[in-house]
Structure 1
């Protein structure tokens, strides 16, 4: 089987590697450089926390478990372990947190209530927010270094014989029975049995070349659900080995003593065409919140501000499966790309080799043909939200 995989982010690279390891002849096509899309601007929180409905929870749990199995335990590993601590300081957030922990415990997920004293032990440098009403510890959650994961997968892909084509785009498809020919922007043509679109936020435009509407949202204005700020600090003498979610700031290690910061309420002005400078008012706000939350951050400065662009299907949930009436086109697009990549890569490869994946049934493209309302698109959960 000859396969073209479009998009060399974490999902595309994993699909390509797993297909090649099963014996397919695979060409991995990337319009820029590997990982230059959403993979490079992700908070990369590995979790199945607050994911609804149960089928989506199970999908994300499979991704979390796949990361735990796959990540090497030495310096080549890409996971930061230690779990995730979430603080609630108002009645609404407290009640939400209590309900979520109870539900997750019922499903066997690693979730527990902890005391301020226990939180201080887990987070030695945290300045506990005033008025804390509840604290949750999600013991099995992690954060990832996406570039390290991608490097691992690209190595596996190369060793399995995947051909990499970078700096080229697909400009057209010419179906030939159950197969197709791709024309690339350099003028070359590639004939394959299957195409896997793992094009992330470009999914809609790639699928449109085949005459298929795959409803993935695109950026239209500042503050869209598909965009959000991430800020990275200079190296700091802070003891932090896990994720923190607070009402004002989310924090995780970013490598080399740096911290990655996220504050979802600030995303209302996020615009990838106008990224604030590291000395901007936005940067100062991030620093004020960081200094209020963590000790030993008086010398903090923002080195980088990014505007991440999320891959967001219209109903917020993963799209995975063959395009209707096009046996040669398989599409995957998901907001949970970092979490799901190792699981989806294996499962998609298996399905393309004839092993139908029952776990995908609620995530096929056909659901949009029967429900054109889609519901509300999923947004990153602010503290206190389901």
Structure 2
């Protein structure tokens, strides 16, 4: 079976790998470069933390397990997955009550979480500065983070080993379903023919789907201060001991290899605007660095090498879109805000559905058919993540 995959981010690389390893002839079409979309500007936190409703939580738990299995399957490759846990606390009484409710819900779902004292938290992160008023810290031991370039290298490398080919740059401008398959028209006048196509083009997926007469309703990725946009900063190497994720009231932090850190202040995202890229030495950068120095010893004097506005591929109801568009089973859509957590799992499940026609129960609540008869414009706007643990 010949399958075309549009997009070489985490989802595209994952489904290409699973398809190729299963014996399909795979061609990936990337319009600019790997990781050019959301996969290159993501906090990359692997979790099922505040993921509701329950089927979405369960899907993310399965995604976490898939990462662990994939990480164990091959040795001698760069460590892209770090299951080192996450620490979180609240900044005021209202936040403490909200965190307690979240922890209680996760415990009811048998999700690993425990309360630590600030002293115990500092045993895990020796350079951590917990504010004086914090009495308890929530610890999620099975969470972690991914280094996206290394994950894509692993997935795409194995896809390539199994015979997958990459066309890059290859800008897909239209998809046409035919009786014997699909035709992908390219901006340069070329074309690719296949038996089926997987749309893993992130925030561009709806535009490609529309050319085939389908829709993948997405929240607008260009609206300043909305749920789809947010700042991410990358620091210079720092002499700080941090090997896990921190989600705190003022700052989210994770390692990024080589002593560098990724920092995020969710409240600052209200100012994020793709049309106005920030500078790594501007007001928001200075705020992030001040918060970092207050949170972790050894980060005084750090600078940001990059401060970007990430644009999330966010379906209009906030939940993943996974499945065939239309009745011909020629065009398969794969779009999710939780692309890092879900990537390896969704790639495997999508390949099974395409090649074996075996529908996955895990994906039953996330089919594109839920949009039938629904006007996305009538849905309430998605609420931006502004508080710790909401990412």
TM band (smaller chain): over 0.9
Aligned positions of 1:207-356 closer than 5 A: 207-353=209-355, 354-356=357-359
CA distance 1:328–1:30, shift in 2 (3 Å): same
**Structure 2 unaligned runs (5+)?**
none
Residue 123 (str. 1) matches residue 125 (str. 2): yes
**Native 8 Å contact 2:84 2:244 kept in 1:** yes
Give the structure 2 partner of residue 19 of structure 1.
19
TM-score calculated relative to the size of structure 1: 0.96
Distance 1:366 1:173 in 2: 19
Q: State the Cα distance separating 1:270 from its structure 2 match.
A: 0.9
Q: Name the counterpart of 1:188.
A: 190
Q: Which residue of 1 aligns with 2:165?
A: 163
* In 2: Cα distance, 1:141 partner to 1:384 partner: 12
- Evaluate the alpha carbon distance shift between residue 320 and residue 379 of structure 1 in structure 2; reply closer, same or farther with a 3 A threshold: farther
Contact 1:97/1:134, CA 8 A, preserved across alignment: no
**Cα deviation 1:117-153 (Å, max 9, x = unaligned):** 1111112111111321431000000000000000011
The answer on whether the counterparts of 1:88 and 1:247 sit within 8 Å (CA) in structure 2 is yes
Alpha-carbon offset, residue 371 of structure 1: 4.4
**Is the 2:49–2:389 Cα contact (8 Å) retained in structure 1?**
no
Do residues 359 (structure 1) and 323 (structure 2) align? no
Q: Secondary structure at the match of 1:255?
A: coil
- Please report how far the alpha carbon of residue 184 of structure 1 lies from its aligned counterpart in structure 2 after TM superposition: 1.4
Give, in angstroms, the shift of residue 219 of structure 1. 2.6
Bigger Cα displacement from structure 2, 312-321 vs 99-108: 99-108
Give the direction of change, closer, same or farther, for the CA distance of 1:92–1:133 in structure 2 (3 Å limit): farther
Which TM-score applies when normalising by structure 2? 0.95
Kindly indicate whether the alpha-carbon contact (under 8 Å) linking 1:4 and 1:27 is maintained by their aligned counterparts in 2. yes
Question: How far does residue 74 in structure 1 lie from its aligned partner after superposition?
Answer: 5.4
- TM-superposed deviation, 1:218: 2.2
CA distance in 2, matches of 1:254, 1:53: 30
Secondary structure of the residue aligned to 1:96 is helix
Deviation at 1:4, TM superposition (A): 0.6
- Alpha-carbon offset, residue 66 of structure 1: 0.6
Aligned pairs, number:
386
Counting only pairs closer than 5 Å after superposition, residues 136-175 of structure 1 correspond to structure 2 as 136-175=138-177
1:152-208 superposed Cα distances (whole Å, 9 cap, x missing partner): 111111111111101111122232225222221222222211011000010111111
The whole-number CA distance in structure 1 between the counterparts of 2:107 and 2:274 is 38
**SS of the residue 1:88 aligns to:** coil
Q: CA deviation at 1:3?
A: 0.8
Superposition CA RMSD, Å: 1.7
Alpha-carbon distance between aligned partners in 2 of 1:339 and 1:262, rounded to the nearest angstrom: 18
2:97 to 77, 95, 99: 95
CA contact (8 A) 2:222 2:228 kept: no
Q: CA 1:221/1:159 → structure 2, altered by over 3 Å: closer, same or farther?
A: same
How many angstroms does 1:369 deviate by? 1.9
CA shift, 1:113, in A, is 1.0
Q: CA deviation at 1:75?
A: 5.4
| Cα distance between partner residues in 2 of 1:268 and 1:378 | 11
C-alpha separation in 2, matches of 1:2 and 1:119: 51
